[in-house]
Amino acid sequence: MKRVAITGRGTVSPAGLDVPATWMAVKQGLSAIRPVHIERQELISCPVAAQVPGYDPANFFTSKQVGPLDRVSQFAVVAAREALDDSGIPPDTEALRSAATIVGVGGGGLETMESGYWRLYGEKSRRSHPFTVPRQMCSAPASQVSMHLGMQGLAYGVTSACASGTHAIGQAFNLVRSGMSRVAFAGGTEAPITPGTVLAWEALRVLSSDTCRPFSANRSGLVLGEGAAMLVLEEWDHAVSRGATIYAEVLGFGANSDARDLTTPDQESVGRAMAMAIHDASLTPAAVGYINAHGTGTAMNDAVESAAIRAVFDNAPPPVSSTKGVLGHSLGATGAMEAVLTAMALYEQVLPPTANCSEPDHDLGIDMVPEGPRKHEFAVAMSNSFAFGGLNAVLLLGRA
């Protein structure tokens, strides 16, 4: 088995259009949750979302390029371009041409689907956009990233709701460490802030009406977000030989299914996924110095995840924080976004706080870092993603 380095990072997030802007906001606990602005806004009740600000496709794509691209694919391509630039892998080289592309997405081209249905049922039009099918399919982001960057290795999409991004990175990790791919681009993307999608989440009665407060006693629910995050995973020796900056090492991956309920997580299964990642890295729980939690800000998630963490770490867990108070919950992209942030926390040796945690819920039995960024020396960090359908995925990263 080969060691796997993280050598490139890219993000498009509610906090900004690149990694520096995203990391700065997360590290400082500056929430990017704002009043929602979408077409046909009068159809929804939820007043807030974590939307990408100042995004104009014309700044990133030609008019010809943007035609086949739903917003979800645009975000993925922009994040992948930044990750490529950050990695220092030269274009038109064998390392890039043979790279794998694995992109997680929860809903696919939701903007394309919704506009098509609006034309059909709202405007009574029988004409559909000619790119409707290639824009809305869940594999579109992976295909578009591979085409825009010229990567001809294994490429596919992963769809497992809110664990999609983490599953994608875990799959890429296994490809690289097994030797099947020398380089892999992996991450997640989502663009779910549409009236129909927001209405669907309103029906679940889990959306907050003001902001997301993970692990806070005054929590009021989750906030939908959007964006994309991509990582470049690379064989360690290959990265070292070309003098690449290594931000972190991927040490382990754990994933399983609750096989019980579509919306209610199972504490035992969640804990088992964390234990699997630790075992995969040939480590013990004591080695983990920080956990980037799934931390959605709902009462059920807070309670189940915290209890699972306490069980795995024998009631002595390391610091735990959630970054969803800043970026919201971007569904298929959120695990990838949090993997990037966990790598940055390791690289800079600082713990990002749990933003908006104004009344820490001490009954949870965790240190949720509510006071602001904290300098912290640690060698191993965990990133958790737990999805509807009981689909659990956990990454373990190490300091380079």
Question: Looking at the annotation, which residues are catalytic?
Answer: 162, 294, 329
Name every residue whose Cβ is closer than 8 Å to that of residue 261 and which is 6 or more positions away in sequence.
390
Q: How far apart are CA 333 and CA 199, in angstroms?
A: 20
Structure tokens at 233: 């995973």
Rounded CA separation 38/56 (Å): 15
- 166: closest CA among 116, 104, 252, 112? 104
Rounded Cα distance, 375 and 365, in Å: 21
Identify the burial level of 293 via C-beta atoms within 10 angstroms of its C-beta, where 0-12 means exposed, 13-18 middle and 19 or more buried: buried
Residue 64: partners with Cβ closer than 8 Å, 6 or more residues away: none
**What sign does the CA torsion over 181, 182, 185, 186 have?**
positive
Q: What is the DSSP string of 269-323?
A: HHHHHHHHHHHHTT--GGG--EEE----S-HHHHHHHHHHHHHHTTT----EE-S
Tell me the two tokens of residue 291. 């956990």
Alpha carbon distance 365, 343 (integer Å): 25
Q: Cβ(324)–Cβ(162) under 8 Å? A: no
Helix (H) or strand (E) holding 132, with range, is helix 132-136
Distance of CA 167 to the CA centre of its chain: 10
Residue 54 CB neighbours (<10 A): 7
Contact 293, 312 (CB under 8 A): no
Q: Are 148 and 77 in contact (CB under 8 A)?
A: yes
CA–chain centroid gap for 170, Å, is: 12
Dihedral sign for Cα atoms in the order 364, 365, 371, 374: negative
**Nearest to 229, CA basis, from 13, 4, 72:** 13
